[in-house]
Amino acid sequence: MNTNRVETKLNYSLLSLDYNSISQKIDQEITLTGVIHRLRVLPQVTFLILRGERFCIQSVVEPPLKSDHLKEGDFIRMKGKVSSAKLSDKTIFPRDIEIKVSELTTIHAPSSILPFDISKKVLNVGGEVLFDMRPISLRHPKQRAIFKISESIVNAFQSFLSNNGFTRIFSPKIVFAGAEGGANIFQIQYFDRKAYLAQSPQFYKQFGVGIFGRVYDVGTVFRAEKHNTNRHLNEYISLDFEMGFIESHLDIMNVEAALLAYMMEYIREHNPYEIELLEIKLPMIGESIPAMTLDEAHQLYFEKKKIDMRQEPDLATEEEKFLTDWSTRELGSELMFITHYPSSKRPFYTKDDPAAPGKTRSFDLLFRGIEITTGGQRINDYQEQVEKFKTFGLNPDDFDSFLQMHKYGIPPHGGLAIGLERLTARLCNINNVKEAALFPRDVHRLTP
């Protein structure tokens, strides 16, 4: 019997060329593969912009190509010599070189032309077309750049926590009950019984504290919210961590402040191309992030705007925008923590503050007019958690598996969740959070 064998030694020709090193290869011949992003055929020369895995690179073909030889959207392999250049198009990287093409081969020619022009500096298509034809619209350089920023957010999140003693866990997405309570949960049929899609990895993060002490999770969560706004998704990526042996929610806030400072520096280092292309202004995070209680935030809004929200259990959308505008102007910070939300407004696992009856040791983090983080200290005492269930009108017997950790001991602990798409949208100056989701799911959209 004959068998084929595949070598374990990596074939480097299958990997992308290091675009950052092309500028060091002046007068050297290189080979590139990609798709024709833009084609400009002139009488004496053809300018061809090749779109690779991340960047677009300019190449020059002499003598000029025949107009029917190639078209935008064709996949090609080209060989050529690296030459010095001075280019101004921000789509192109690197901009100090171009490729003088000597050989050009078509790998694949699509059967249909592109439905809209993705070679323009701005993708000018309607909102629904942007999502209906997502596999095509995402090929535009600025659309792709959004998700390279998103990727770096996740990479920085994981790197920071791993380097600080956190263990990554992978929580299940089919669960027996909702971690957040309420009706905004998707029910599914799980063999002979009902189950739900996870709203949060909350229970499993808390279990993880008893196992590893510090844990984090990056994964999809689901919210069956029927509203269709530019702030909400029914499926999104949640960046979660949980840690034990804390004194209060302030410890969690401190870790997040350090995490975000690290994250911004990571993006500055790894994404200069995307920062320039999208004209991103990353927030400067100094030695601290300002914080105030919910009552103080309501009072400030009342004093400045003469609108009374002081009896509301949460911040209104207009308050979130006001507070971050005020913080930016008066305190020099685009981020602001709001703490001590009412017990009735926070989930049943949230610890009440003994020094502030009716309030919890919880917080939200606001950034550029929107909440991007929710977190706080959790209940670790068994009897306290049982009583909280009763206060919420829940039967503790229905949460027997959750209460195992309380019954057999768990240290004081807490954590948070960051919405990846919301943070990405705020960093990239996107008003609609759906544009920061690769393939968004909302109340109307289930494809592509």
Q: What is the CATH number of the domain that holds 32?
A: 2.40.50.140
Domain match, 103 and 152 both? no
Same domain? 50 vs 181: no
- Model pLDDT, residue 181: 61
119 is a domain residue: no
23 and 145 fall within a common domain = no
In this structure, are residues 105 and 77 in contact, taking their beta carbons and an 8 Å threshold? Answer: yes
Mapping DSSP onto H, E and C, the string for 389-439 reads HHHCCCCHHHHHHHHHHHHHCCCCEEEEEEEHHHHHHHHCCCCCHHHHCCC
**175 and 294 inside one domain:** yes
Task: Show which of 86, 108, 130 is a domain's final residue.
Answer: 108
The residue behind tokens 């060989």 is: 79
| 359-398 pLDDT tens trace | 999 999 999 999 999 999 999 999 999 999 999 999 999 9
Q: How far is it, in rounded angstroms, from Cα 189 to Cα 197?
A: 10
Give the end of a domain, one of 108, 124, 149.
108
CB < 8 Å & 24+ apart, contacts of 174-178: 174/198, 175/203, 176/401, 177/398, 177/399, 177/402
The number of beta carbons lying within 10 Å of the beta carbon of residue 363 is: 25
Q: Are residues 249 and 165 in the same domain?
A: yes
Q: What pLDDT was estimated at residue 182? A: 63
Rounded to two decimals, the pTM is 0.95
User: From CA 286, how far away is CA 83, in angstroms rounded?
Assistant: 42
Tell me, letter by letter, the H, E, C secondary structure of the chain: CCCCCCCCCCCHHHCCCCHHHHHHCCCCEEEEEEEEEEEEECCCCEEEEEECCCCEEEEEECCCCCCCCCCCCCEEEEEEEEEECCCCCCCECCCCEEEEEEEEEEEECCCCCCCCCCCCCCCCCCHHHHHHCHHHHCCCHHHHHHHHHHHHHHHHHHHHHHHCCCEECCCCCEECCCCCCCCCCCEEEECCEEEEECCCCHHHHHHHHHHHCEEEEEEEEECCCCCCCCCCCCEEEEEEEEEECCCCHHHHHHHHHHHHHHHHHHHHHHCHHHHHHCCCCCCCCCCCCCEEEHHHHHHHHHHHHCCCCCCCCCCCHHHHHHHHHHHHHHHCCCEEEEECCEHHHCCCCECECCCCCCEECEEEEEECCEEEEEEEEECCCHHHHHHHHHHCCCCHHHHHHHHHHHHHCCCCEEEEEEEHHHHHHHHCCCCCHHHHCCCCCCCCCCCC
Domain holding 366: CATH number?
3.30.930.10
Q: pLDDT (tens digit, 0 to 9) for every residue of the chain, 448 residues total?
A: 677 887 877 776 666 667 778 889 999 999 999 999 999 999 999 999 999 999 999 999 998 877 567 899 999 999 999 999 999 999 999 999 999 999 999 999 999 999 999 999 999 998 799 999 999 999 999 999 999 999 999 999 999 999 999 999 999 999 987 766 666 899 999 999 999 999 999 999 999 999 999 999 999 999 998 878 888 899 999 999 999 999 999 999 999 999 999 999 999 999 999 999 999 999 999 889 999 999 999 999 999 999 999 999 999 999 999 999 999 999 999 999 999 999 999 999 999 999 999 999 999 999 999 999 999 999 999 999 999 999 999 999 999 999 999 999 999 999 999 999 999 999 999 999 999 999 999 999 999 9
Q: Is residue 18 situated within a structural domain?
A: yes
In a domain, 128, yes or no: no
Pairing of strands 56-61, 46-51: antiparallel
Based on the fold, state whether residues 308 and 222 are members of the same structural domain. Answer: yes
Measured in degrees and rounded to the nearest 5, phi and psi for residue 196 equal -140, 155
Which of 58, 92, 108 is the C-terminal boundary of a domain? 108
Specify whether 147 is located in the same domain as 55: no
CB under 8 Å to 272, separation ≥6 — which residues?
none
Residues 98 and 174 in one domain: no
- Is residue 51, in this structure, part of any structural domain at all? yes
Angle between helices 382-391 and 400-408 (to 10 degrees): 150
**pLDDT value of residue 65:** 77
pLDDT at 16: 61
Residue 4 lies in a domain: no
4-41 pLDDT per residue, tens: 887 877 776 666 667 778 889 999 999 999 999 999 99
Count structural domains, the chain. Answer: 2
The tens digit of pLDDT for each residue in 38-87 reads: 999 999 999 999 999 999 999 999 988 775 678 999 999 999 999 999 99
The reply to whether 191 and 324 lie within a common domain is yes
Tokens 């959070």 label which residue?
433
Cβ 99 vs Cβ 60: under 8 Å: yes
Question: What is the number of alpha carbons within 13 Å of residue 222 lying toward its C-beta?
Answer: 16
Q: CB neighbours (10 Å) of residue 100? A: 14
Same domain for 152 and 254, yes or no, is yes
Please choose, from the candidates 248, 218, 222, the residue with its C-alpha nearest in 3D space to the C-alpha of residue 233. 222
What is the pairing mode between strands 46-51 and 370-377?
unpaired
Give residue 35's domain range.
Answer: 12-108
Give the tokens for residue 8: 């374990």
Residue 141 token pair: 């350089």
Cα separations in angstroms, 369 against 290, 314, 330, 335: 15, 14, 15, 9
66 and 167 part of one domain: no
166 and 244 belong to one structural domain: yes
Task: State the pLDDT at residue 14.
Answer: 62
